[in-house]
Amino acid sequence: MERYERAFDVIGWIGVLFLVPVGFYVFNYAPAVQFMQGKLGFLGRPAVLTLIAYALIALRIVFGGGNLVAPLLISFVVGFFLMATVVPFRFMKWFTDWARQLFFLDNKSLNFLAAGFVFFFGNLVSYARRASIFLQLILLLVLPVLVLVVANAFHLFRFPPPAL
């Protein structure tokens, strides 16, 4: 792997870490939310942080190393749609209106956790030498959706309302 590929791999992982401050909003952690709203201003908004994370992850997809590109692409798309149910993007209003009809996308906290899982494991699986596309789809699409369906159907988790 070339040096520039390693640098963009690190940039992609930093992009995943940019989702952590969004988690403070999702789980309504008041000290962090107050700090981001008060001190960071525009850059502390969840939508801006999420778009920065997507841009960094996209740079990793285009210029980074690793052995497989498919898990990165799958995780980018699936994670994007899951995060669109959490963070209000104006250009994704059509999707959030449609997603409100699906019971398993009701809980924003679970959607955020599923998106974080997808981004993390998508990056991780990209380093594997071989992984079938079937296994990638199971891990990065079917498993998170199945967990969301079961958790929302049986109300397994109680989270505070998001501060979004």
Domain boundaries, the chain: 3-153
Q: Please report, rounded to a whole number, the percentage of residues in the chain having pLDDT higher than 90.
A: 64
Confidence of residue 66 (pLDDT cuts 50, 70, 90): confident
Cα(31)–Cα(2) distance, rounded to whole angstroms? Answer: 41
> What are the backbone dihedrals phi and psi of residue 83, each rounded to the nearest 5 degrees, phi first?
-70, -25
What's the pTM?
0.90
- Burial (Cβ within 10 Å: 0-12, 13-18, ≥19) of residue 17: exposed
Q: Share the mean pLDDT of the chain.
A: 91
Cα(86)–Cα(110) distance, rounded to whole angstroms? Answer: 9
Confidence of residue 161 (pLDDT cuts 50, 70, 90): confident
Tens-place pLDDT, residues 129-153: 888 999 999 999 999 999 999 999 9
* Residue of 2 and 72 predicted with greater confidence: 72
